[in-house]
Chain A
């Protein structure tokens, strides 16, 4: 089970710029000169308003896309093609609806050439870890949103990734389920300690989970500020940490920085009259 070869890999983005060609033929800059470092085993949350290039950052780290300028390094090596040892959890379920839960989780090892029987035994074990023993033969549509998320987590973690990329993973869940899943995520992360980039627009979630919170500006996305979260670990229930004085203090600080960006993003999308009214 040592497929990654990049044990506890750090992630480093150096002056990364990403441009896209719009259908109209003009260039659109999603990211500009982004510098970002995630130390090995660190849990880093990225917050920012909609359309600030958070998801683009993840696809660059995963190697699904190339930067237009600058370099992305994982474990010291420049990303060139799919980054080995990566786990990716998407906001929408990326489970294959025609495969059973077990087959979905077993995909990772099978893609890496593991024999089917071994992969399935492995998948069974991971399903037990995420609390879904007994649901092996169900299809994804038969599960609730929270359960599908657990399957996604198991499917991402079965490869024992050294870096874990999460794109608003709990964004579609209801508040209670989200809290439960956050706690479970922390528990799972603590067992293997991959480096994490966790993209979210929920600042409370970011502070409760992460060692480091990165605030991004509205497009073109750049890193606006970086905050180290000095709340002690293990943090316990994420619902309760929200009431700690230090949490509130950090929240206050980071929100000051984030609010500006959120307002700018809002002014761009809302009709002018409404945006003005909001400010006065």
Chain B
């Protein structure tokens, strides 16, 4: 038994020790390997998609699973085409997309702004944090989706109630991250800035905010998802237009294809937003060592 590793080592030695393996050919080989691996990943992704969608289509057309409940890919495509060509029952598809996006984006903007302002404020002013902390935790514990019903009562069926619901959902995510980010600021950095002559405002602007930015931006990915949830659920609870209303209608008509079709549209919108936030992140955090950025990109 003791012999085996040695034999293996001898058998493997010659290929690596060959004089032909100079720097450039090693580099070329490494590049080729990386490329091959990338192609393999893409191929496997395509195969996975084909397997799931194709399996779904086949199983429903063979009636192994009931298309009445589970929909059918071909049916979803047909429904989407119908919406694009003839519009939904509430006007053109683009109008519904635009309304929902407007609500989500506005809610996102208000929620992020509020979250950052309050997060930094409470992170900086210990007294405020101690006083308001328990209440904020209590509000966070409330299932805030239910607030949507109240907002519809207050603000009516228009976009305002959805914007508010989205903003409330976004606020807490961003707030807690901003607060934590401010608390985690390196005390040496703050002390150094103060000794160098920085005023309180200059400390916040030059040290605290940039330092907390890593945390805040990390929260934006989750926050945008929440803003879409807020807009859709708000429309569910009562609206005159929007993708949430389209889904609710499809549900009432026992039309799973309609539900899945709208879901697909929302997923595409969310992925686009996610990509944009990723771009913003890389831009704002370009000072970080490259290894960190790449790790974040996965």
Contacts and interface: CB of A to CB of B under 8 A. Distances in A.
Interface string B158-197: 0000000000000000000000000000101101111111
B287 A159 contact: no
Contact of B195 (A87, A92, A99, A112): A87
Contact of B188 (A62, A90, A98, A139): A90
Interface of A (DSSP majority class): loop
B198 interface: yes
Given A82-B195, A84-B197, 8 more contacts: A82-B197, A94-B191, A97-B288, A98-B213, A98-B285, A111-B199, A156-B196, A159-B196
Interface of B: 186, 188-189, 191-199, 202, 206-207, 210-211, 213, 285, 287-289
B92 to A, nearest CB: 45
B189 A108 contact: no
B289 to A, nearest CB: 5
Given A111-B196, A111-B198, A139-B287, A94 B189 contact: yes
B207 A159 contact: no
B210 A159 contact: no
A94 B211 CA distance: 13
A108 B210 contact: no
A-B pairs, 4 with minimum CB distance = A94-B192, A111-B197, A98-B287, A88-B195
Contacts of B194: 64, 82
Contact of A90 (B192, B202, B206): B192
Contacts of A87: 195
A88 B210 contact: no
A88 B198 CA distance: 13
A139 B213 CA distance: 17
A64 B191 contact: yes
B195 A62 contact: yes
B191 A96 contact: no
Interface string A130-142: 0000000001010
A99 B287 CA distance: 7
B195 A64 contact: yes
A19 to B, nearest CB: 19
A3 B197 CA distance: 10
A214 interface: no
A96 B289 contact: no
